[in-house]
Amino acid sequence: MTGTTAPKFLTTRAQGVATIMLNRAASLNALDEDLRLSLLAELQQLEAADDVGVIVLTGNGRGFCVGQDLSQAGELENCHDTVARTYNPLIAAIVRSDKPYIAAVNGAAVGAGMGLALACDLVVMSEAASMACAFGKMALVPDSGVSAHLVQATGYRRAFELATSGRKITAQEAERYGLATHVVPVDELMNAVQALAVAVAQEPAKTLALTKRQLRASTEVPFSVSLEQEALSQGVAGATPEHAARRAAFLS
């Protein structure tokens, strides 16, 4: 009898929320090329799914994701190709998505795994979870969006310290530095994330998409352009049925 290979990630859907659980627990959910490309295809499918309003990323076992699978030596022979072709599109899919992403960080989020978490719009960590910008430990530099997200959240000097030391960042530190939205007890993580995700999924999809676009763009464009984008987006949001209904309810 031949055994079957376990899927590298599992997806479940409930109450407008799609939860993707990385499923390589033995390697602390390290990312190989097959997982990165198949995960990207899954995110693209979920982006087009009308019954999905929020996407949750988490890991199976003790780790959230420890980044590159270092046993796949061939993937490191041309790091530029590996990052540009298989990491950047994955991170961009999360950041550019019109749907909110929530990282449920259940354990260590290291290197590109930290990048995967920081790409999300909300980050909920268990008290036992941690992050580490450990690229320098392998004489590499931050990738997967970590450079930008670290500086945006913590400021340049703190980002430089975290990136160059590669030290472990506790969940409590992550919350204090602005890298995490909430920290919850270990046994409450998934219930807390599911409740948060369901609440977010009940908000008007168009409003969420426009808000996410505005906030993301504000770090990339001049302030004057950000102001104009806010005005344009508000014009779209103000014309939606959801806004009219909520305004009527408020006035009544």
Domain range annotation of the chain:
9-201, 205-251
More confident residue, 237 or 131: 131
Q: Which CATH number among 3.40.50.720, 3.40.50.300, 3.30.70.1290, 3.90.226.10 corresponds to the domain 9-201?
A: 3.90.226.10
pLDDT bin (cut points 50, 70, 90) of residue 231 is confident
pLDDT (tens digit per residue) in 55-114? 999 999 999 999 999 999 898 889 999 999 999 999 999 999 999 999 999 999 999 999
Sign of CA dihedral 213, 45, 17, 245: positive
How many Å is the maximal CA-CA distance in the chain? 68
- Give the Cα separation of 78 and 57 in Å (integer): 28
pLDDT value, residue 20: 98
What per-residue confidence (pLDDT) applies to 208?
A: 97
pTM, two decimals, is 0.91
Would you state the pLDDT for residue 1? 42
Which pLDDT score, from 0 to 100, does residue 3 have? 58
Q: Is the dihedral of CA 86, 9, 56, 65 positive or negative?
A: negative
The residues, ordered by sequence, that sit 6+ positions from 134 with a Cβ below 8 Å of its Cβ are 67, 110, 111, 166
- 248, exposed or middle or buried, with CB in 10 Å at 0-12, 13-18, 19+? exposed
pLDDT in tens, 105-143: 999 999 999 999 999 999 999 999 999 999 998 889 999
**d(Cα 113, Cα 134) in Å, to the nearest integer?**
10
pLDDT of residue 126: 98
